[in-house]
Structure 1
């Protein structure tokens, strides 16, 4: 999947625009939930060597949150790497140029669900969102 397609897909599915919080890395984009402001994805293009690859070329990746129990299974897939600059137990980096679009979008959807506000009950009549 190409970067432009991914940006369009995220805007269409989740109604959020990319945020570019780092002046030093103007192409690095963060995607947050509107309500709780939690990140559900980070789009970056670090040099391959920083990802453990044998290249200096930039590699387009999307960091997404995962269930910790799925980490070893996912990391065994071609195109799934330890998370770049994130908690490596709960996040992975997905190579845009390797993973099939459907797999990438499924993992993005899981990340969105894992990071959204959870409903919790305080009393029988009151519901709050975290």
Structure 2
């Protein structure tokens, strides 16, 4: 109940949106929509837990939002607290469980994106807010420890869904098994054709070094135990808790 109220208060304070209750049969369904184009950017519903594939028959609140990137939407729905859009499955809609599994700060960020995606100005900008990614680097194929020794910007294999302005945290696989760098993406879709030893690369992106981390700062064991990350096999979304830790580390890091 508290998250529902917090979300409605956030929408009212930031977007001047008052919820609309459109169905007598579902008195707790709250629609959030734009004043100008009347499009929905959020829908709070209470649904049986079993309808989401969860245990229990009691009703639980969810928030439906629309995202710009289908890859990002698919990645989120693989994480706890996220589902494919409940009764709104087309157009990159997802459902967020409002039981505390997903932090309010993360919910606000997704609601902001949904507001942008469904707004009139989105048709002009065709952009989404920058995102943060965790991407793997295999020392078997690349000397990742010395990647930025000679220059602060390098070419790297482009991951699906990554755009200019996004932030990537480079995770070095075993035997290093740790996050080593924070970078910003400066260019994408650079043509490249490489296929050897099971590695295929079709396009590159340019990434610029922003920060270095010591190999013992963000180890695989820490990612697993504190942030629920059990594998980094491809580009993946950075959870809010890890984002706060890597962007404002208490641990020693060197620029």
Q: By the TM > 0.5 criterion, same fold? A: yes
TM-score range, shorter chain: 0.7 to 0.9
Residue in 2 that maps onto 1:11: 12
Residue 60 of structure 2 aligns to a residue whose secondary structure is coil
Structure having the larger proportion of residues in strand: 2
Query: What TM-score do you get using the length of structure 2 for normalisation?
Result: 0.45
Q: CA shift at 1:82, angstroms?
A: 1.4
Give the alignment of 1:1-130 within 5 angstroms.
Answer: 2-66=3-67, 67-88=69-90, 90-97=92-99, 98-118=101-121
Aligned pair count? 120
Partners in 1 of 2:106 and 2:16 — Cα distance? 20
Q: CA shift at 1:69, angstroms?
A: 2.3
Query: What TM-score do you get using the length of structure 1 for normalisation?
Result: 0.86
Partners in 2 of 1:87 and 1:95 — Cα distance? 16
Structure having the larger proportion of residues in helix: 1
Q: CA shift at 1:73, angstroms?
A: 1.3
Give the structure with higher Rg (CA): 2
Q: CA shift at 1:89, angstroms?
A: 5.2
Partners in 2 of 1:26 and 1:47 — Cα distance? 15
**Any stretches of 5+ residues in structure 1 without a counterpart?**
121-130
1:9-43 deviation per Cα after TM superposition (whole angstroms, max 9, x unaligned): 11001111000001100010000000000000000
Extract structure 1 runs of 4+ deviating beyond 2 A. none
**Any stretches of 5+ residues in structure 2 without a counterpart?**
125-255
Conserved? CA contact 1:82–1:88, under 8 Å: no
Deviates more, 1:27-36 or 1:4-13: 4-13
